[in-house]
Structure 1
Amino acid sequence: MTQERTPTILATSGGLIRGQRTEVAFGPLLHHAIELSGATRPSLVYVGTAMGDGSAQGLRMIEAGQAAGIPVRLLKLFPMPNVDDFDDYLLSHDVVWVGGGSVANLLALWRLHGLDSALTRAWQAGVVLGGVSAGSLCWHQGGTTDSFSPELTPVTNGLALLPYSNGVHYDSEPRRRPLFQELIAAGTLADGYATEDGTGLVFRGTTLVEAVTEIKDKRAYSVRRSGEGVQEESLPTRLLANG
């Protein structure tokens, strides 16, 4: 594992792309999470709780890792945890990548098994935490989710490693942007940050240090309560190599 000790999170609305010889491939955002670890021989843990630890997605991630030259191992909770000690397992890797799906179910199961606490300790020890959609929302205080029904609703019980709200798929799902703003204006969600598809937010500790994108001209945003409404500000967003 890398000696980098700064707690780091890459929260995204992207990371995987269509592969040439595999169904999916690591995109520039996921490669950036690996680069942030500073490891010379990086390894990655994929956590697919939000989609019920589906074996097909796990296999796709392993194959994508093989194509990228990055060892990928799985952390599963179904039908039971596949490791005896979460801390040892997580700390023996450089990056944790969390897939999308139901953030509500993910949070409930992580807390039931104590994985939430283990992930917090891994973050504090310098393991890079990253993910897409539910794998982005989970690190924040809350955001918008379709975990409960086709209609978007707020989720407010995230792990809160980052003391902000998070808006994902900000440009691709029409209701995401207005609801995120409404919830912040009402005080239901804290001030926060949002990502269009293909963009990500790099946090060192709890400080946002950079917005990045794997798709040219895509954006990330700061959204803050202002009076009875909100102030939305487009953030400088750096295009990653090969993006």
Structure 2
Amino acid sequence: MTQGQIIAIGGGGLCEKAKAGLDTYVLEQSQTSQPKIGFLGTASGDSDSACLKFYSRFSKLNCQPSHLTFFHRTPNLAAWVQQQDIIYVGGGNTLTMLAIWEVWSLVPLLKEAVQNGTVLAGISAGAVCWFECGVTDARAGGLGLIKCLDFISGSCCPHYSADEARQPTFEEHVATGKLPPGIAIDDGAAVHFVDGELQRIISGRENAAAYNVVPTADGATSQLIESAEVLRLV
């Protein structure tokens, strides 16, 4: 388990012009009064629209936003990472994002940063990536399995209640042992880990929640998480 703070958001947030509650929460976890927050839009191919949504949200909040691209001239990665108090990862194609990060040797820099106090956060692809493994729609044709960074033990599934295929697929993979037990996160909800342990569920929408998905004698089940503090923003 990786030491430090990781906040995984199931979906929604700045990508759907929702209220700023979850993103404000992310900023509040930094130890600085006006944190430097850096955006990684790799999963969307560093799309201009994703970057614009990031700046539209965070330029209005008490922080210093910036972004890093891999699809244009890329700056010194170590220097950029070290400058950030928070690194926020956007949604998109998780598989492609992780492949690009590996080629550029970004992952060791992220691990060092979080251990030194940088908050790691993200939405959708930027949520599941921190876990051991999970499910992804990166490939056309349905949901598949993906090996992730293993900063947090167990598996993960974002968009849990928004996509009707997510729950049966995730439960089936946990039931058959293709995935270890894990956490499922609704759009509008986030899970906050500290030193690898779940500390808090943050609900930014009505009924948005997170679930433990565990095997049972006849399959698997999704259980509303009750072992951690729940912070409701609505």
TM-score by length of 1: 0.88
Q: Deviations over 1:62-120 (max 9, x none)?
A: 23222123221001111342x11x22221211111100000000010000101111111
1:50 paired residue among 43, 52, 55: 43
Aligned to 2:9: 12
Deviation at 1:135, TM superposition (A): 0.3
Deviation at 1:225, TM superposition (A): 2.1
CA 1:121–1:160: 2 relative to 1, 3 Å: same
Q: Secondary structure at the match of 2:54?
A: helix
Q: Deviations over 1:113-163 (max 9, x none)?
A: 0111111111111111011110001101111111011411111x2001001
2:23 and 2:232 map into 1 onto residues whose CA distance is: 11
Aligned-residue identity in percent = 28
Q: Are 2:38 and 2:88, in contact at CA under 8 Å, matched by a contact in 1? A: yes
TM-score by length of 2: 0.91
Task: Map 1:116-155 onto structure 2 (within 5 A).
Answer: 116-155=107-146
Give the gaps of 5 or more residues in structure 2. none
Q: Secondary structure at the match of 1:159?
A: coil
Q: Secondary structure at the match of 2:183?
A: strand
Aligned to 2:158: 168
Deviation at 1:15, TM superposition (A): 5.7
Deviation at 1:48, TM superposition (A): 0.1
Q: Secondary structure at the match of 1:57?
A: helix
Which amino acid is 1:238 matched to?
V
Which amino acid is 1:14 matched to?
G
Give the gaps of 5 or more residues in structure 1. 1-5
Q: Deviations over 1:200-236 (max 9, x none)?
A: 1100011011111101222110112234522422014
Q: Secondary structure at the match of 2:202?
A: strand
Q: Are 1:45 and 1:95, in contact at CA under 8 Å, matched by a contact in 2? A: yes
Which amino acid is 1:32 matched to?
Y
Moved more, 226-235 or 106-115: 226-235
Structure 1 runs, 4 residues or longer, greater than 3 Å off: 23-26
2:91 paired residue among 100, 110, 117: 100
Aligned residue pairs: how many? 230
1:26 and 1:52 map into 2 onto residues whose CA distance is: 25
Deviation at 1:17, TM superposition (A): 4.5
Aligned to 2:230: 238
Q: Deviations over 1:1-52 (max 9, x none)?
A: xxxxx6000011136248xxxx947721111111111221211000000000
Task: Map 1:140-219 onto structure 2 (within 5 A).
Answer: 140-155=131-146, 157-219=147-209
